[in-house]
Amino acid sequence: MSKQLDNLIRQWTQIGAGFSAEPDGMTPDLERLLLDTARHAHEMARLFIMAATWLHRYGDLIAKHRLKRLIREELEPEYRPVLGLLLDIAQQRTHPLEFQSVLKVINPATHPRPLFSIEASNERLARRAQRKAGNISRRWNLWCSQIEFKFDAIRPAHWIMRRNSGLIIRGDLRGDLRASVLASLRFDPGAGTSEVSLAEASGGSRAQVRNALDNLELTGRVRRLPNQGEKKRRTVVELAGAKR
Amino acid sequence: MKVVAGRAQDLDDLRDMRVRRDEVGFVQRYLDALSEKGTNQEQIDDAVDVLETLELHDHE
């Protein structure tokens, strides 16, 4: 297993996916974890299945605005359809569809092909993958047979939250823009240097982010501080409890 | 069993197991027996597809 794939598995284990690996020890940046999963899922079918199962059960924890921004700015175009397929499979039987807003920014693969390398590596297996492909995978031009969720291989919520207390607030906010703002402040360097930077990093408009900040400040989750050290006055935003 | 199941994760596992020629022979005989017992022929043919595409290893 490659080092990158190994690292990815450890991060998924940290948030409750049942791989036989040691947890990473730190709560991962969930949205970037999804990007990395899209990049490596073709190497390991089980990773794709576990990720789909986890997302089906805990999709509320994903900051959707930020995920859209990261897809547009950081995910290489060839991996976007893989993420699209993953999210589309994960949102089946969720009401409302959990990732529909994210899927609007992703297009299917240009040329139909097997999703997994093991099937793409052999013409006969590729034909077999095409023959057995499920409807959703055909829609994304990435052939794979219908995925069965592995709920028995995913840890319960209390296990996940006990080891990743930073995810509790995400659960409360159910992935709305406030979750994206908090995730950007935590994981995107420089995001809090101004409201404009924060809007760019979190994927919201400036007005939306200001509105989100009003609420987050009201509930004591962020602090807005005037930065008067420069000619042009701007507002610095930081997570409440962060050291200055 | 992985040859018969034939899901992508099974194919990954089969690759990692580095299947030997003699093991393929064993599975082939098992598939023949399944066929005689009346297992769906389409399922058998599918398993044969998988079996015949395996990269074989002589030694471990």
What are the residue ranges spanned by the domains of chain A?
Answer: 3-153, 176-239
In this prediction, residue B43 has a pLDDT band, given cuts at 50, 70 and 90, of confident
Contact A104, A88 (CB under 8 A): no
What is residue B34's predicted lDDT score, i.e. its pLDDT?
Answer: 87
| Minimum distance, in Å, between the CA of residue B43 and any CA atom of chain A | 12
In this predicted structure, what is the pLDDT of residue A155? 97
Whether residues B53 and A49 touch (CB distance < 8 A) is answered with no
Give mean pLDDT, residues A64-81: 98
Which chain B positions have a beta carbon within 8 Å of A120's beta carbon? none
Tell me which H or E stretch contains B25: helix B21-36
Nearest CA in chain A to B9: A45
- Cβ contacts from A onto B, under 8 A: 35
The whole-number pLDDT of residue B35 equals: 84
Q: How far is A64 from chain B (nearest CA, A)?
A: 29
Give the model's pLDDT for residue B24.
Answer: 86
The pLDDT assigned to A229 comes to: 65
Structure tokens of A70? 């990261």
Parallel, antiparallel, or unpaired for β A142-143 and A222-227? unpaired
Q: Which pLDDT does position A8 carry in this prediction?
A: 97
What local confidence, expressed as pLDDT, does residue A50 receive? 98
- The reply to whether residue A118 touches residue B8, judged by beta carbons under 8 angstroms, is yes
Share above pLDDT 90 across residues of chain A, in percent, rounded to a whole number: 90
Closest CA to A163 of A3, A13, A49: A13
Q: Chain A residue closest to B15 (CA)?
A: A118
Task: Determine the residue among A42, A128, A142, A148 to mutate to test chain B binding: the one whose Cβ has the most chain B Cβ atoms within 10 Å.
Answer: A128
Predicted complex: ipTM over 0.95: no
Chain B: closest CA distance from residue A25 (Å): 27
* pLDDT tens per residue, range A7-61: 999 999 999 999 999 999 999 999 999 999 999 999 999 999 999 999 999 999 9
At residue A242 the predicted structure's pLDDT band, cuts being 50, 70 and 90, is: low
pLDDT, tens digit, for every residue of A93-146?
999 999 999 999 999 999 999 999 999 999 999 999 999 999 999 999 999 999
Q: Which residue has the higher pLDDT, A100 or B19?
A: A100
DSSP A58-118: HGGGS-HHHHHHHHHHHS-GGGHHHHHHHHHHHTTT-SS-TTHHHHTT----SS-EESSHH
- Options 3.40.30.10, 1.20.1730.10, 3.10.20.30, 1.10.10.10; which CATH number does A176-239 get? 1.10.10.10
